[in-house]
């Protein structure tokens, strides 16, 4: 059986592509499992510093969950499918390395949920995003209600989930759902420029920031501040911190080793 994803590595940047263009890259159980395995492998691979996630073909990032696989699930099976998707996206969201979502087309339902679990989202100006589950008599099941609430706030979350209509990339930018919107023919170059900048940054500092932001988003501010201080202090044990500060003082570009 062909893999539902493909991977390729360019220097320190790993590209993971959902590769089901005939299904608009819809997420079925096999795809969720393959993505989870790919992110877990990338997390432990020292040659990978940044991951770019995208979808194959000209139409879709990921158009949603695979309705043909979902339609006949029992309530218990549906709950398990939801948990499967949530675990996959949580594994990506808690990655110790930055994940950039390169949104090249439709990001609907499970596709928007997948995009929102990325750390940075760059969208083509032609992309459409939304949570249309209401039109199927469903609710989002891969974390959409929770991540959208944290990114865009209550009013926007209620609008997108209750009405189910897709929005433009420009509107998604206004709501804080994506970080940048670029011309479709510049999407790859703009995304890889960000990836290259991150790949040249200090990996341990990137990990410390990702951890601090993830922890801080889920706890009281006092706990978040304490965790930030511990991570800040930990950076002073790294060779990268010495390299970064010396490079600044010597007015040169730093070279970070990840140690």
- Tell me the catalytic residues: 113, 133
**Alpha carbon distance 90, 102 (integer Å):** 18
Six-digit token string for 63: 């158009």
Query: How far, CA to CA in Å, does 166 sit from each of 132, 230, 233, 248?
Result: 7, 42, 44, 46
**Alpha carbon distance 130, 168 (integer Å):** 9
Residue 119 DSSP one-character state: S
**Alpha carbon distance 173, 121 (integer Å):** 10
Six-digit token string for 18: 């959902």
DSSP letter for each residue of 129-171 = EE--GGGGT----SSHHHHHHHHH-HHHHHHHHHH---EEHHH
């Amino acid at each position: 059986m062909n893999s539902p994803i493909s991977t390729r590595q360019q220097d320190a940047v790993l590209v993971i592509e959902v590769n089901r263009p005939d299904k608009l890259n819809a997420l079925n159980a096999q795809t969720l499992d393959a993505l989870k395995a790919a992110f877990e492998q990338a997390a432990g691979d020292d040659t990978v510093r940044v991951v770019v996630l995208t979808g194959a073909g000209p139409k879709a990032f990921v158009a949603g969950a695979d309705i043909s696989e979902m339609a006949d699930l029992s309530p218990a099976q549906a709950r398990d499918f939801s948990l499967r998707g949530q675990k996959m996206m949580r594994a990506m969201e808690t990655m110790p390395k930055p994940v950039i979502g390169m949104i090249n087309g439709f990001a609907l339902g499970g596709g928007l949920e997948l995009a929102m679990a990325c750390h940075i989202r760059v969208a083509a100006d032609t992309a459409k995003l939304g949570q249309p589950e209401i039109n199927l008599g469903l609710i989002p099941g891969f974390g959409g209600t929770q991540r959208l609430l944290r990114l865009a706030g209550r009013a926007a979350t209620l609008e997108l989930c209750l009405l189910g209509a897709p929005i433009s990339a420009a509107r998604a930018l206004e709501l804080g759902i994506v970080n940048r919107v670029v011309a479709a023919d510049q999407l790859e170059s703009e995304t890889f420029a960000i990836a290259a900048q991150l790949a040249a940054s200090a990996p341990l500092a990137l990990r410390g920031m990702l951890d601090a932001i993830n922890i801080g988003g889920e706890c009281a501010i006092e706990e978040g501040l304490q965790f930030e201080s511990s991570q800040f202090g930990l950076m002073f044990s790294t060779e990268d911190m010495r390299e970064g500060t010396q490079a600044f003082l010597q007015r040169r570009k730093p070279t970070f080793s990840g140690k």
